[in-house]
Amino acid sequence: MDKNSIISKFKPDNDNLLNILHELQNTNPNNYLSTDDLKLVAKYLNTTYSSVYGVVKYYSMFSLKPRGKYVIRVCKSPLCHMIDGNGLIEHIKQNIGIGLGETTNDHVFSVEASECIGHCDEAPVIMINDKVYKGLDSEKIKEIFQGIKSNQ
Amino acid sequence: MIKEKRIALRNIGNYNPGSIDEYLKLGGYKNVERALKINPDEIIETIIKSNLRGRGGAGFPTGLKLKFTTQAFGDQKYVICNADEGEPGTFKDRIIMEMDPHLLIEGMIISAYSIGASKAFIYIRGEYTESIDSMKFALNQASEKGFVGDNIFNSGFSLDIEIKLGAGSYLCGEELALLESLEGKRGYPRIKPPFPAEKGLLGMPTLINNVETFAHIPYIIEKGADHYKSLGTEKSSGTKIFTISGDVKRPGYYETEMGVTLRQLIYEFAGGIKDNKKFYAAILGGAAGTFVDESVLDTSMGYETLKDKGAVLGSGAIMVMSEGRSVFDMTHSILKFFMHESCGKCVPCRIGTVQLLQIMDEAKNNNKDKKEILNKLLNESEYMAATSLCPLGQSPILPIKSIKQFFENQF
Ligand SMILES: Cc1cc2nc3c(=O)[nH]c(=O)nc-3n(C[C@H](O)[C@H](O)[C@H](O)COP(=O)(O)O)c2cc1C
Ligand code: SF4
Ligand code: FES
C-alpha cells in the first residue's frame, strides 16, 4: 500500500498521530520513519514537520534510522535482569553477531533494549517485531534464529 | 488452603475471547442492559458505596472520581481507559484485554453512561500487540451487535470507543502525560491541578481509570454495593489481581480478596520459593514500589495496612527474590529504569535519575561503604521527591527508603 493511502485511513486529527506513525513504521520493510514520512504526516495533520519530529524523537518505539526487518527488543527491566543478567544479549550476539543498539549490515536484524513487556512470569523475555518469546535460554534463542533464517 | 476470588478475572478461560456469542451465552452485556435502566446518579452512588478504589496504583476512590467528572462543566465528556501498563512486574491488564476484552468494554460503557460521556478511548501501550488486536476485534464485534455506538439497548445513550496506541514511554501511563500523548504530543506531564476530572482531554472533563478498575464495575452493578464492600477489608474492599514473578514455583496472576497476606500469595498461590531456597525479599508495586523482607510476610495486603509497614500495594506486582539474590543489583536495575524513563522536562529528575545511578556505579567500582552510599541515595532522592514536577521524579525515593528500612545491613 502506498503511504498516502495508509495515512488517509485515519481522520486528519492530531490525536491520530501516534496511530499513523505506528502504521507507517510497521509497513516499512526497514521498520523506521523517513524524513519524507514525517513531512507527509505533518501536511496531512496540518501541523509542522518539527512538531512531528519532536513527537517521534520522544517515543522509544519509533526510529528515524533504518533498522533490520526484524527488530529484537530485549527486556532489561528488573525482573528479567535478575533472572538473566546479560545472558540473552550474549546469546543473541552469538547467533547474529550484533549487540544492543546495532543493526546487521544486511539490514535483517536490529537489537534494542526494552523495558518490561509484561511477561515477567515467564522471564527472561524478548520481542521480535510484534511477537513475544518467553522463558528463553541459549537453546531456545538458537532455535528462534534458525527458524527465522530458514524462512528468509 | 486459600482460594482465589475472581471478579476482574471471572470470565478468564470460560469463553473464547474472539467470540462475542460465547460471551453472550455467559450473560455478557447483561450488566450494561441493567445499568442503562438505572439513573446515572444512582450508579455513581452505588460505586461510591462499594468503596471501589483505583487499581492502577494510586487507590483513589473510583466513585468520587465519577462524581467529580459528572459535576464538572463541559460540552463534551470523555472516558479513557489507561492500558499503558508499564510498571515492571505488572501484567494484569494484559490478561484482561487478551482474554476477556468484553468485560472491559462493559465496564467502560457503564462508566461513560454514569458520567454522560459519549466518547471513550482505550490507550494501550504499543508493545502490547496482542492486547491491541484483541481489543480491536472485540470492539468491532460489540459495535456490530449494537452494544457500542448509537442508542445502546434503545436507551437513548450512545457511545463511541476508539483505541489509541502508546509508543514506548512508561511515563505516558501517568494520567496527565497520557492526555498529552493521546492528543498527539510528546508525553510531558501537565501541572496539576486542574485534575482530568475538571480539565482533561482537549480541556474537557475526563474520567481516567485503569483496566482492572473498569473490570470491577459490571460486577458491582450485578451484585450491589453491599456485597462488594463485604469482600476484602474495611478500607480496601473487593478483590485485587496480584502478578507474582521471580523465584517462585508458580509465577503468574492470582486474584483474591484484599487482606490476603504476602505469605499466602507466595507460598499458597505461587507454590513457595523455587529450588528449595529461602525467601529473601519481595518488591511490591513495581519499580515505583518498595522492597520488603520477611517481617512483612504476614501483613494484610491492603492500601493502608501496607503503608503502615512502609510498603505499597501499587499495581499489585510482587517480584520475589530468594536467598542469594542481591538487593543492590535490583536497586541498580530499578534506578536504571527511572533514568531511561525520565522525560527530561524538569531538572531535578533529569539530573537526579542520572546521579542516583552514578552513586551506585561509584559504589560498585570503589567498594565504598554501602551505608554511606545508601545515605547519599536517600538524600538525593529526597531532593528529587521535593522538587520534581511529576510523580516519576518522586518515585525513586520509594524503593530507596524501603532498603534503608529493611535491608540497610545487606545493601
Ligand atoms: C509514572 C507513572 C506511570 C503510571 N502508569 C500507569 C499505568 O500504566 N496504568 C495505570 O492504570 N495507571 C498508571 N499510573 C497511574 C495513573 O496516573 C492514574 O492514577 C490511574 O490511571 C488512575 O486510574 P485508577 O484510579 O483506576 O487507578 C501511572 C502513574 C505514574 C506516576
Ligand atoms: S519528574 Fe521526571 S518524568 Fe516527571 S516531568 Fe520531571 S523529568 Fe519528566
Ligand atoms: S521485567 Fe521483563 S517482561 Fe517484565
What does the domain layout of chain B look like in residue ranges?
20-229, 239-322, 327-406
Statement: residue B371 has pLDDT above 90: no
Provide the percentage of residues in chain A whose pLDDT is more than 90.
94
- Which pLDDT score is estimated for B364? 79
Query: Which listed ligand is nearest to A75 at the C-alpha?
Result: 3
Q: Is A30 on the interface with B (CB under 8 A)?
A: no
- Which pLDDT score is estimated for B385? 97
B184·A55 Cβ contact <8 A: yes
All 3 cell numbers of residue A150? 530458514
Domain covering B327-406, topology: de novo design (two linked rop proteins) (1.20.1440)
The CATH class given to the B239-322 domain equals alpha beta
Average pLDDT, chain B: 96
Statement: residue B1 has pLDDT above 90: no
A55·B165 Cβ contact <8 A: no
> Which atom from ligand 1 is nearest to the alpha carbon of B84?
8
B246·A114 Cβ contact <8 A: no
Pocket test for ligand 3, best of A82, A88, A112, A117 (most atoms within 8 A of CB): A117
> Which atom from ligand 3 is nearest to the alpha carbon of A79?
1
Cβ atoms of B16 and B22 within 8 Å: the answer is yes
Give buried/exposed letters for B5-37 (b at 16+ CB in 10 A, else e).
Answer: bbbbbbbbeebebeebeebeeeebbebbeebbe
Compute the nearest-CA separation of B43 from chain A (Å): 30
Indicate the length of chain A as a whole number: 152
With 0-12 / 13-18 / 19 or more C-beta atoms within 10 angstroms meaning exposed / middle / buried, residue B409 is exposed
Look up the ipTM and state it. Answer: 0.97
Domain covering B20-229, topology: Rossmann fold (3.40.50)
Q: Is A25 on the interface with B (CB under 8 A)?
A: no
Residues of chain A with C-beta less than 8 angstroms from the C-beta of B333 = 76-78, 81-82
Query: What's the pLDDT tens digit per position in B243-274?
Result: 999 999 999 999 999 999 999 999 999 999 99
Give buried/exposed letters for A126-149 (b at 16+ CB in 10 A, else e).
Answer: bbbeeebbeebeeeebeebbeebe
Compute the nearest-CA separation of B201 from chain A (Å): 10
Average pLDDT, chain A: 96
Give me the mean pLDDT over the B103-109 stretch.
Answer: 98
Cβ atoms of B355 and B380 within 8 Å: the answer is yes
Q: Tell whether pTM > 0.80.
A: yes
Residue B343, ligand 2, Cβ within 6 A: yes
